[in-house]
Amino acid sequence: MGVTVVDHPLARSMLTALRDRNTPPPLFRLLAKRLALVLCVEATRGVPTAPTEVDTPLAKTSGTRIAQALVAVPVLRAGLGMLEAVTELFPEVAVGYVGLERDHATFEASMYYSKLPPLEGRTALLLDPMLATGGSASAACDALAKAGAEHVTLLSVVSAPEGIARLQRSHPDVDVFTVSIDHGLDDHAYIVPGLGDFGDRLFGTL
């Protein structure tokens, strides 16, 4: 499993603003989308391409096109804050959804919803902004693998070492792109320093 920390000044600046407890939901949503754009560009750097030719207003020239279809799969509900960035960059992307809920006693994730397009021969971009215990990401990867996904790339804003380790054990073939690997988890399995509950801050349900 490859883990890439997107170490870009713009990404670090936006993450700092997302961490700030005083950042209001409208600005949080905007920053989440913009940061997801940066993550998506980096995560798709290795997507298969093919040569092509186009006619410019002056001459014919060679170019490149994306040669493999993509599927974006946000983990509900927090992953929705990253989805628009992917659909803007790749307008023809197919979109699936996975709904997972964490038990606050066991910290384990249970699935309550799954709607996925065909995944065979496509690259799946799993959108889960907080890789904490790794339970939700692992369960989502299970669902994608069962549906036929051959390659999954996880886009996560903030990750904990515990979540990365769990995903490494359960799905060693999944690549992870994140902006930060934080110190770890507290007693309630929240990422520290983290940025709080991403979904609550995204939708203003604090």
* pLDDT for the residue 105: 67
Q: Could you tell me which CATH class the domain 3-45+71-100+109-203 is placed in?
A: alpha beta
200 is catalytic: yes
The predicted model scores a pTM of: 0.92
Rounded Cα distance between 176 and 100, Å, is 19
Asked if 34 contacts 18 with a C-beta cutoff of 8 angstroms, the reply is no
pLDDT per residue of the chain (206 residues) written in tens, 0 to 9? 799 999 999 999 999 999 999 999 999 999 999 999 999 999 999 888 999 999 999 999 999 999 888 999 999 989 999 999 999 999 999 999 999 887 766 667 788 889 999 998 888 999 999 999 999 999 999 999 999 998 999 999 999 999 999 999 999 999 999 999 999 999 989 999 999 999 999 998 87
34 is catalytic: no
Which member of 106, 169, 186, 205 is catalytic?
A: 106
Look up residue 53 and give its DSSP letter.
E
Query: Which residue from 179, 195, 194, 177 is spatially nearest to 8, judged by alpha carbons?
Result: 179
102 is catalytic: yes
178: tokens are 């994140």
Domain extents in the chain = 3-45+71-100+109-203
- Element counts in the chain: helices (H) and strands (E): 6, 13
Which member of 4, 102, 142, 175 is catalytic?
A: 102
197 is catalytic: yes
